[in-house]
Structure 1
Amino acid sequence: MKLITTFYTAVGLILAMFCIVTAGYLWQTKKVRKSIDDVLYTANLIREGEQAQKLMLDMETGFRGYLLTGNKEFLIPYYKGKSQFTFSLALLDSLTKNHPRQNRQIQLVRKDAENWINSFATPLLESRAKTHLSPKHRQQYDSLFQATAQQGTGKKIMDQARTRFEAMEKHEEQVKLNRLGDLNFSLTRTNEIAIGLTLISILAGGITAYLFGKTVRKRFRKMNHLAYRIAQGDYNVSLEDKHQDEISSLTHSLNVMARKLRTSFNHLTKMNKELDQFAYVVSHDLKAPLRAINNLAEWIAEDLKTDDPDILNNLTILRGRVLRMENLINGILDYSRVGRQALPPSTFSTQDLLKETLENLAPAASFQVKVPAPLPTICGERTLFYQVLSNLLSNAFKYHHTQEGVIVVSARELPDFYQFEVRDDGPGIAKEYHSKVFGIFQTMHARDVKESTGIGLSIVKKIIEEKGGQIWIESEKGQGTAFFFTWPKQPETSPTSSFVAHE
């Protein structure tokens, strides 16, 4: 499976879990909303039933007041209650239309109310209104009143309606309690499901991300180690990756690069060996006739037995040219070997090495070498550092324009390097020649004036750059010369063993 496919799958699973969380929450929310609607319905039904009972009481109160006093003011609450009671029953009928049990109770209440109005209240009211017309009407009213009101006929009808309301309210109160319990349960369950699914999603997402990250990190760590080994010069490395994804392609590319570098390195090693052999043969074949020429010149000088200054000078020039040629050959060989000879690093004092270098160079007593502060102790190839220091000091002595001078050697510490300075009070170097002096076979003076191969500073530059440092000049014509160079604090290490990483 491709890495990007795996990543998308993992993200998809996490998103799916969150979708499940959302769907579960919506489902529970729907149940909660239904429970709330049921509770509100029950509350509305109970409230409207209580309102209808109050209207019934208003009708009864107004009716009784009128019968007792004959004051029509008492009929106002009666007729108002009657009108509103009809509306209240219609509303209760609408509320209970989907609930047959409650609706049946409402229909029975309506019949009770109509029975009370039609068979009890209306006849009494009509008869009471006519009592002032004649004694007969008064007698009829009294007779009707005794037969109905005094016998509790109206009260029985209304009590029966109230009983129906009370039964309905009692039932709805129980339903309300049950629905409140369901509502609380739904709310609790909603929270539990939401929290549970969220925790599961977080846990699943965390585990997926951890496993995915761990796998990718492990594989990249192996590739990083492989690349580091290659960068250190160990090309006998490879990495097995059985996956078939983008990282596998990168792993394959690193393996191909390592193989090609190994092939190139082996070829280069072979070429270097051949070059060393060639250099040895060439130097041997060139030095042999040079030594013969030098010996021949000495023999001629001994056999000639002449005091002619021109002849003696020519023989001297001949031997000097032979010596220069030999020095050139040695210099070329030294230059070619820089960076190709593995020298063991060691810890050494540059202060002591400076002292040893001066003893070997043996400059004229008129020259002073000053060290303002103790030089550091460093780790590296002592022989190479000696070559650098020896060439710089030798040039300072050789190219000084007087027979006496002052050379100052100092150093300062940088984060990753030591910066050394070799400063003299010699004739200086013009700026246009600052880069030229590091070229091979380049000299600032004619070789007949100052005998030099022109290779020394080239060797110095090559050594320093091979170590990862830099060298530069600060100088003006007639103001002395300062050579600066940096040397790493820690030498580069090369791996000595190969490995094969498996995955």
Structure 2
Amino acid sequence: MAIRLNTKILLGFAIALSVLVATSITAYVTIQQLSRYTKLVEHSYQVLQKTDNLRLAIRDAQSGVRNYLMVSDTSYLRSYATNAAQIPVQARQLQALVADQPIQHARADTLCQLLDSQARELALYRAYPPSPAVAQALLLSERQPLRQFKGVVTRLRLSEEDLLLSRNRQQSIYQNLAPSAIIFSAVLAVIIVLWLFNKIVGELKANDRLRLELTRTNLDMAQRIRAMEHLTRQVVQGDYKVKITDSGQQQDRLASLGQLLNQMTQALDVAFTTLENRNKELDQFAYVASHDLKAPLRGLSSLVQWIEEEATDLSPQLRTYLTQMKGRLARLEDLINGLLAYARASRAERQLVEVRVPDLVREVADLVVPPGFELVLAPGLPTFLTDRLSLQQVFTNLLSNAVKYHGYTSPGRIAISSHDLGQQYEFRVQDNGPGIAPEHHQKIFLLFQTLRDRHTAESTGIGLSIVKKVVEDQQGSVRVESVLGQGATFIFTWPKSK
């Protein structure tokens, strides 16, 4: 598993810090041990020094008493007194120095007993009158205690010298170990730091190479994405022959996406070419319908009219039949005209012009609204850039629908208002006609669906279907709000052209 650069740096510093801590601990322990054994060596030297001092003090005290007895010179008694006073002090100090060593402490106790015995004996001989005989007796009585004293001192010194030798060896070991441990730890720390520095430099170089590679990859991806954006804009504008030439060296997801976009534009080009051909066929059908189908209808209408004009002895029943025939022919012509209008509703070329809605509505009303109707335009109807013909077609069908289904049970009234929704305008066309039951609100926008009798000439059921088709082609919506007997309000939204 690859370790990140930050982790490597932290790990290296942790190792270096651990080595430095270990070095510090080793140096501290070594120095402490060196200090300890130095004190022990000094302690052994002090013990040896005290034994020498005791040996010299007892010798000088004995010599002072003997010399006094031999020559009767009291100056020797001063030497005796000085050494006799030092002997107990030196003995107590020696006992204190060897208190941590039971064997040596026992020897020091024995030595103190011998010193006390000798001190008492010297004090006793000091009280005798000076004479060579007394001095000779003192010398003879000192021999046995002196041999014991020398034996104890020798054993104590030999044991302490062995301790001194061992302590000197330990001191030498720690004297040599401390610098070696410090130097080894320092060298190891330097090696670790150099290794860490080399790793960091290598990682930084690798990161630089990776950053350059990522920069090149990002530039390449940005160029390829811009090419895809250009293709998308061209498709939105209607150019379906545009292609992407992917300069990427590897077959990645962007290359696959580019190939799919090329396939999409090719499929769109084929589909829209086919659609254009179908539209041309529909135009041809409209031409045939408007000429080849309407011509026989006009002939039949003319024939019925001639029969009414020429025949003078037609019965009332026959005239009723002729009237019904004229109505059927008129309805059929209206259906053909409605179908043609529905087929062409969203295929007309859109031309964006500035439209003043109040003027447009008045123009439409002059054509489809009879004089007996009241037309109310709310203030604030907008002026904006849009497809005038499509908006005119919507208002024409809605106004003519309001007039057609009014019923003339009351004075006709049509009110038009608008509301700005931000990206769209919402228009409301409200009438005071008979209204529409809620269950028929969706039905009225279907082709050939009408709430009147199908034999009524004015009711083809196509007008509101055309409104719905035109509005939805403009990315808008249309609905109706109505209750039976309370008029109807048709509401549609219309986008603002940018």
Q: Are the counterparts in 2 of residues 287 and 326 from structure 1 also a CA contact under 8 Å?
A: yes
Match status 1:395 vs 2:401: yes
Match status 1:344 vs 2:351: yes
Give how far 1:271 is off. Answer: 1.9
Q: Are the counterparts in 2 of residues 438 and 457 from structure 1 also a CA contact under 8 Å?
A: yes
Match status 1:451 vs 2:458: yes
Match for residue 243 of structure 2?
A: 238
Equivalent-residue separation in structure 1 for 2:342 and 2:404 (angstroms) = 21
Match for residue 289 of structure 2?
A: 282
Give how far 1:212 is off. Answer: 4.7
Match status 1:42 vs 2:35: no
Q: Name the Cα RMSD after superposition.
A: 4.6
Cα distance per residue 1:443-468 (max 9 Å; x no partner):
22235556233211111111111111
Tell me which of 326, 342, 347 is aligned to 1:335. 342
1:197-236 correspondence to structure 2 within 5 Å: 211-216=216-221, 218-227=223-232, 229-230=234-235, 233-236=238-241
Q: Are the counterparts in 1 of residues 30 and 178 from structure 2 also a CA contact under 8 Å?
A: no
Q: Are the counterparts in 2 of residues 335 and 459 from structure 1 also a CA contact under 8 Å?
A: yes
Give how far 1:272 is off. Answer: 1.6
1:32-71 correspondence to structure 2 within 5 Å: 32-65=17-50, 67=54, 68=57, 69=87
Aligned with 2:143: secondary structure?
Answer: helix
Equivalent-residue separation in structure 2 for 1:463 and 1:161 (angstroms) = 115
Match for residue 80 of structure 2?
A: none
Give the gaps of 5 or more residues in structure 1.
1-14, 86-120, 145-154, 492-503
Cα distance per residue 1:310-334 (max 9 Å; x no partner):
6666555544443333322221111
Aligned with 1:401: secondary structure?
Answer: coil
Match for residue 72 of structure 2?
A: none
CA pair 131-38 structure 1, distance change in 2 beyond 3 A: farther
CA pair 134-320 structure 1, distance change in 2 beyond 3 A: same
Q: Are the counterparts in 1 of residues 228 and 258 from structure 2 also a CA contact under 8 Å?
A: yes
Cα distance per residue 1:130-174 (max 9 Å; x no partner):
994942256679999xxxxxxxxxx99999999999988877776
Q: Are the counterparts in 1 of residues 20 and 186 from structure 2 also a CA contact under 8 Å?
A: no
Give how far 1:298 is off. Answer: 3.8
Q: TM-score, normalised by structure 2?
A: 0.71
Cα distance per residue 1:168-192 (max 9 Å; x no partner):
8877776687578668867976886
CA pair 415-129 structure 1, distance change in 2 beyond 3 A: same
Match for residue 93 of structure 2?
A: 74
Equivalent-residue separation in structure 1 for 2:293 and 2:378 (angstroms) = 46
Aligned with 2:433: secondary structure?
Answer: coil
Equivalent-residue separation in structure 2 for 1:83 and 1:460 (angstroms) = 123
Give how far 1:37 is off. Answer: 3.2
Equivalent-residue separation in structure 2 for 1:298 and 1:337 (angstroms) = 32
Aligned with 2:476: secondary structure?
Answer: coil
Cα distance per residue 1:50-82 (max 9 Å; x no partner):
212212332333444451426654343443566
Between 1:317-326 and 1:430-439, the stretch displaced more is: 317-326
Equivalent-residue separation in structure 2 for 1:432 and 1:139 (angstroms) = 143
Q: Are the counterparts in 1 of residues 19 and 189 from structure 2 also a CA contact under 8 Å?
A: no
Q: Are the counterparts in 2 of residues 59 and 82 from structure 1 also a CA contact under 8 Å?
A: no
Aligned with 2:243: secondary structure?
Answer: strand
Match for residue 472 of structure 2?
A: 465
Match status 1:322 vs 2:329: yes
Equivalent-residue separation in structure 2 for 1:187 and 1:178 (angstroms) = 14
Aligned with 1:478: secondary structure?
Answer: coil
Which letter maps to 1:57?
E
Q: Are the counterparts in 1 of residues 427 and 492 from structure 2 also a CA contact under 8 Å?
A: yes
CA pair 157-437 structure 1, distance change in 2 beyond 3 A: closer
CA pair 199-286 structure 1, distance change in 2 beyond 3 A: same
Equivalent-residue separation in structure 1 for 2:235 and 2:262 (angstroms) = 10
CA pair 444-205 structure 1, distance change in 2 beyond 3 A: same
Aligned with 1:397: secondary structure?
Answer: helix
Give how far 1:406 is off. Answer: 1.5
Match for residue 385 of structure 1?
A: 391
Cα distance per residue 1:333-383 (max 9 Å; x no partner):
11111222322222211121111111222522x311112222112332110
Q: Are the counterparts in 2 of residues 331 and 456 from structure 1 also a CA contact under 8 Å?
A: yes
Aligned with 1:237: secondary structure?
Answer: coil
Give how far 1:275 is off. Answer: 2.1
Cα distance per residue 1:201-253 (max 9 Å; x no partner):
77666556555555445544544553454455432132233531233333323
Q: Are the counterparts in 2 of residues 469 and 486 from structure 1 also a CA contact under 8 Å?
A: yes
Q: Are the counterparts in 1 of residues 33 and 174 from structure 2 also a CA contact under 8 Å?
A: no
Q: Kindly tell me the number of residue pairs found equivalent between the two proteins.
A: 436
Percent identical pairs in the alignment equals 33
Match for residue 148 of structure 1?
A: none
Q: Are the counterparts in 2 of residues 338 and 459 from structure 1 also a CA contact under 8 Å?
A: yes
Which letter maps to 1:240?
T
Between 1:479-488 and 1:304-313, the stretch displaced more is: 304-313
Q: Are the counterparts in 2 of residues 131 and 141 from structure 1 also a CA contact under 8 Å?
A: no
Match for residue 296 of structure 1?
A: 303
Q: Are the counterparts in 1 of residues 375 and 413 from structure 2 also a CA contact under 8 Å?
A: yes
Equivalent-residue separation in structure 1 for 2:292 and 2:328 (angstroms) = 17
Between 1:167-176 and 1:412-421, the stretch displaced more is: 167-176
Match for residue 262 of structure 1?
A: 269
Equivalent-residue separation in structure 1 for 2:220 and 2:477 (angstroms) = 42
Tell me which of 471, 478, 488 is aligned to 1:481. 488
Q: Are the counterparts in 1 of residues 231 and 243 from structure 2 also a CA contact under 8 Å?
A: yes
CA pair 444-130 structure 1, distance change in 2 beyond 3 A: closer
Q: Are the counterparts in 2 of residues 418 and 489 from structure 1 also a CA contact under 8 Å?
A: yes
1:90-169 correspondence to structure 2 within 5 Å: 132=118, 134-137=141-144
Equivalent-residue separation in structure 2 for 1:328 and 1:208 (angstroms) = 69
Equivalent-residue separation in structure 2 for 1:208 and 1:283 (angstroms) = 68
Equivalent-residue separation in structure 2 for 1:303 and 1:420 (angstroms) = 52
Q: TM-score, normalised by structure 1?
A: 0.70
Between 1:349-358 and 1:156-165, the stretch displaced more is: 156-165
Give how far 1:125 is off. Answer: 7.1
